[in-house]
Amino acid sequence: MTLIQVPDTINSDLSLICGYTFNEPELSANDFVIVEDGASHRNYFGQVVGPQANLNRSALGPQDNATINAFEQLEQNNYAREVVVREVYFYQVNLIKDITQDPPSSVRRRPQIGSIARQATENEIIRYLKLPPADERYRIGQIIDSNIGIYIKPQTLFYQSLIAGATGSGKTNSCANYIRAALQMDFAAIVYDHKPDYQHIDRPNQDAIDILNGNGQTNQDTTWIEGVNADYYYLGDESTAFQGTPIAIPASEFDPAVLAAVMYYPPNETNSREEFETLLEEFDDEQHADQNGNDPVIWTLRDFFQWVTSNQEPWQPPESARERLGGRQASTYKAMVSKMLRRNRRPAWVDGGLPIRPTANPNGSRSRRPSPSAAVFGQDQTPQQPQWFDPAGLLQPGRALVK
């Protein structure tokens, strides 16, 4: 398919060239073309700006009575189409770059009458638009209204990226393809899936498959829309919206001020919140002081409860804070401990649902009270410590961590 450039008019838009094709309207809107000017020996890269205009070679205009009569006979099957219609197709092409020399430059001189345009190849489009090299493993989509793929390269992943668009424009699918390409490069990926949108990222991208089938692209390489290797985690109680393993984080990983604000959130619990934060800091300092070596210090709210109550009934403040929490402060201390044990005060992922308060068993020794979350971790009447959520230890090259 070739397009030949026709003369301009005085009022022509000089950012465009116009031309005809004579056999079939093979060019479509947004197609890319290479324009070769034999007169000036210059080449150009351009893009078709819209669908073709269908013109008749007849000298008579479309509103001429003879034309109207001829088309009436055609409509009534009295004439063959070839008798009435001798079609030529008119296009406009936006000139993007002058590609005569390398590197390409802006267009400072237009091609002359009779220049020939042909459809650009995929490699030419990638080259002149400065797109990453074509590699189906790293494909994330394609240029709209075309079959030209968009790919990423490893260097892209060392920078921030923004995928933006209107509702339904394909942001989620593009992100899924982006993640898959990164995993193909042996990167690890963490996906924060709050909506959730990526609970089936381990399956082929059915939306992309449907689009390809709808466009008749059934023979295209679909490596870029295959499922990925993924591990799933979720916060909170079991849910039909999320799959995978519940996240368990020891209380020692939280900032005392944050944990205090979460557990003592009502406005009238300011005193309990401040005292809880102070005692958490004192307890954490003691744990670090007793630590030998470089192993991380890990403790739970159950450990803190035993320390803050001196592991006694009735509760007694720790010796270091006993004087401060005596007298008028005794009520604040008791309220703080009591509210710490209330249901739903502690988020489900803190300590993985392990009970805070130990209870006495028939032998007189202390054991743990069953927790509603115990079944999630396969625990019996004596819950076992869950496996702590450690992203650094869970991340693996070529796998996604979805949470």
Distance, CA of 402 to CA of 155 (rounded, Å): 23
Confidence bin at 383 (pLDDT 50/70/90): low
Domain-embedded: residue 196: yes
Domain-embedded: residue 153: yes
Closest CA to 174 of 237, 182, 243: 182
Least confident of 21-25, 61-65, 367-371: 367-371
Residue 237 predicted with pLDDT over 70: no
Domain end, chosen from 82, 104, 126, is at 126
| Same-domain status, 146 and 163 | yes
pTM of the model: 0.65
| Same-domain status, 378 and 258 | yes
Distance, CA of 284 to CA of 252 (rounded, Å): 7
Least confident of 39-43, 88-92, 233-237, 313-317: 233-237
Domain end, chosen from 126, 155, 175, is at 126
Check if the beta carbon of residue 88 is closer than 8 Å to that of residue 24. Answer: no
Q: What is the reported pLDDT for 175?
A: 87
- Peptide bond connecting 104 to the previous residue in cis, omega within 30 degrees of 0: no
Distance, CA of 49 to CA of 62 (rounded, Å): 24
Counting residues of the chain whose pLDDT is more than 90, the rounded percentage is 32
Residues in the chain: 403
Residue 347 predicted with pLDDT over 90: no
When divided into structural domains, the chain yields a total of: 3
Domain end, chosen from 172, 203, 231, is at 231
Tokens representing 193 are: 């899936």
Please write the tens of the pLDDT for every residue from 255-304.
Answer: 999 999 999 999 999 999 999 999 999 999 988 888 777 778 899 999 99
Per residue, the 3-state secondary structure of 169-196, as one string, reads CCHHHHHHHHHHHHHHCCCCEEECCCCC
Residue 213 predicted with pLDDT over 90: no
Distance, CA of 20 to CA of 54 (rounded, Å): 10
How confident is the model over 233-249, as a mean pLDDT?
75
| Same-domain status, 197 and 260 | no
Distance, CA of 132 to CA of 137 (rounded, Å): 12
Residue type, 24: E
Domain-embedded: residue 179: yes
| Same-domain status, 370 and 314 | yes
| Same-domain status, 175 and 256 | no
| Same-domain status, 143 and 114 | no
| Same-domain status, 141 and 120 | no
Domain-embedded: residue 283: yes
Residue type, 380: D
Residue 326 predicted with pLDDT over 50: yes
| Same-domain status, 221 and 255 | no
Collapsed DSSP state (helix, strand, coil) of residue 43: strand
CB-neighbour burial class of residue 104 (10 A; exposed 0-12, middle 13-18, buried 19+):
middle
Domain-embedded: residue 241: no
Q: What is the reported pLDDT for 377?
A: 43
Please write the tens of the pLDDT for every residue from 125-142.
Answer: 999 999 888 888 888 888
How confident is the model over 231-238, as a mean pLDDT?
77
| Same-domain status, 60 and 162 | no
Please write the tens of the pLDDT for every residue from 146-205.
Answer: 778 888 888 888 999 898 889 888 888 888 888 888 998 999 988 888 888 888 888 877
- Peptide bond connecting 314 to the previous residue in cis, omega within 30 degrees of 0: yes
Which residue range forms the structural domain that includes residue 114? 2-126
Q: What is the reported pLDDT for 216?
A: 63
Confidence bin at 384 (pLDDT 50/70/90): low
Phi-psi region for residue 168, left (φ > 0), alpha (ψ -120 to 50) or beta?
Answer: left
Report the mean per-residue pLDDT for the chain.
83
Domain-embedded: residue 282: yes
Q: What is the reported pLDDT for 367?
A: 45
| Same-domain status, 293 and 334 | yes
| Number of DSSP helices (H) and strands (E) in the chain, helices first | 10, 15
Domain-embedded: residue 400: no
Domain-embedded: residue 245: no
| Same-domain status, 227 and 264 | no
Q: What is the reported pLDDT for 373?
A: 46
| Same-domain status, 150 and 271 | no
Residue 49 predicted with pLDDT over 60: yes
Residue 363 predicted with pLDDT over 70: no
